[in-house]
């Protein structure tokens, strides 16, 4: 299962990343870093975000 969360505040995103790093699970960290890269692409207009309903359907 994969969950993507979009943070509008990069400071909060970095703090969450710091917390996740303490889980010592490479898969969690890599997925979160991928999510941060995705946020950057969305902010740059190179990628469109997905509707929230898609996220909820995945849950």
| Category of 45 on φ-ψ map: left (φ > 0), alpha (ψ -120 to 50) or beta | left
Q: What is residue 44's predicted lDDT score, i.e. its pLDDT? A: 92
Tokens read off for 44: 């740059």
* pLDDT value for 55: 67
Local confidence pLDDT in tens for the 59 residues of the chain: 577 888 888 888 888 888 877 776 667 777 778 888 888 898 899 988 878 787 677 76
Q: Cα–Cα distance between 53 and 57 in angstroms, integer?
A: 6
DSSP string across 1-59 = -------S-HHHHHHHHHHHHTT--HHHHHHHHHHHHHHHHHHTTSSPPPPHHHHHHH-
Q: Where are the domains of the chain?
A: 10-58
């Amino acid at each position: 299962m994969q969950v993507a969360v979009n943070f509008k505040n990069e400071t909060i995103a970095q703090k969450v990343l710091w917390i996740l790093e303490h889980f010592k699970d490479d898969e969690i960290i890599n997925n979160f870093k991928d999510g941060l890269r995705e946020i950057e692409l969305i902010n740059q207009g190179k990628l469109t975000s997905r509707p929230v309903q898609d996220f909820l359907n995945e849950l």
